[in-house]
Structure 1
């Protein structure tokens, strides 16, 4: 890792925070990831709050590819010359795109960006039979990691979640993904509608039996502006949910998985490098409808957001002049402090204190009062060499993160 050192500049605001006129200053830049958003899905799940849109019939694949190229061309000047450390196709349902489309997109990335030959390229996929049949083609295009949205192996629970696949299709898709690529992640959810502890345990045991290198195990949450928020299903209470979470962790860790992040479990050398870059406050360029970016420059760190609606994004991106970027702002000191801690505290090992300085350009003095409060509450381990949540802090992560919200 290159060390970032605050740039001493004459005439800065004398507030103990380095940078040009009080702004953070960096002499090296953090790793850069690339995120690609594919917005369409066959059916919008009732719990989903992502930027996904139901689409019947064929996708406007050619129009999407042309807009994606236009989006990329307009974004390249902000990241010119920087090496891309990871690529992630998210959605929506990226596996609705043909293998030929994924091949063309990855070809664009290699033409426009500094993409190493062995870069981690992840594609999210649904276990539907039609999509699973494409996995070998994705691998030939350059995808080397597939993340499958399994959610459960219980047909009744899958119906309640609005999933369009059944358990048999999930099992078949896992086997097809494992034949196509070496690295496979399974997404599972627990605390499902009317789920028992035994049902939760059976799901996790079955997932572990496939021998994949990575598991993402999420607690179902009823997010605002979703069908489940408007019509809440009957879900396990807090006590049962906590018991499920503890059992999930026990089973995964007993099978040789390291719980390296709140919801992520990996065997040795199988951690998701793309997500690790997020949690360590690295940079990422997001292209596609609704995609977000965080880009560092020598004297500032900025955020961008693309137009959310697919048709509007395609039209605006192809018109040029950056019209598809609907939000562009520079992060303030308070933004940087909170966003860094929001991500870093998700990691079990936390981060070295120096990484806060390296990635934000700020002094640790900027967060010292919040650190003291969190330590006094037993949520954060004392000391500045490593910033890490205590077991209690990890259990009450939202409370810990809010200590850093100015």
Structure 2
């Protein structure tokens, strides 16, 4: 009997649909892995809270479930906007099936995110566009670097031949501007080294970023931490991930500084993500690192090109921070997901925990 129960549990955990079994008091007697992903919690936390406690009252019709349990009538709802107490929201279809379990009537709830497949397709398309844009920029950058070297060298030779020392300021200007353009081109090319992998605690890296952000801003900003202590050490390049998280966090702090918010907050949150699809590859477990701010949100006109180099909503921004963060995350077979609306922006990095050594094309790492 124990073996049968284990078999059924393994089967239910392999299903991508979120399944939750509740009674009339909304106490949970079973939850599968897909539901834990949806609720961003663990089994131990599920036992301590009733199911409806995870949602805002206006988005979860508790009375409908109570009535279904009393009458035994099943129901379905399409395109329900579930709003979670942690600020997230998700459009889902809900099916409530009435079953008898543990000698009482219970509701087996199926929660099906209707945006998931669309989002996976959109991510694949965006990734292909980003790769194409990156290749175009790399090609242009190399074409620019070659004549820049010639211009700089010619200016140095000319400087030696000038009879009037006062004219050297013009050759010095040519040299300094050539160096400035060379530096910009190097940044456009992005990181040019392979990851140096080791095991480390991701929360220590995030804490360092939090300290840097607090010291870097000229206004009062609150840093909050919401960590999942069950996340194991990550086998990755700590410097690369620190830089990626720092770039996103600096963007968040700059966005908060650009508007007059009474209580600016950046929240660092970590969770375990199960059965995560990244660029068409399904990973059993991923570390999810979220940087959340209560700023103005991302302007609609740049959302589709957010990770392209030179795209920025800031007047003096070069648009390289997010592009570099994306490249550093790509080096770890990960992805960056974004959810944003006025008052809420969430950048989430997904890093596979079943990390395998990626293959690199030499032209991708050459400067």
Report if TM-score (shorter chain) is over 0.5.
no
Pair member with larger Rg: 2
Q: TM-score, normalised by structure 1?
A: 0.20
Write 1 or 2 for the structure with the bigger share of strand.
Answer: 2
Write 1 or 2 for the structure with the bigger share of helix.
Answer: 2
Q: TM-score, normalised by structure 2?
A: 0.22
Higher relative contact order (CA 8 A, sep 6+): 1
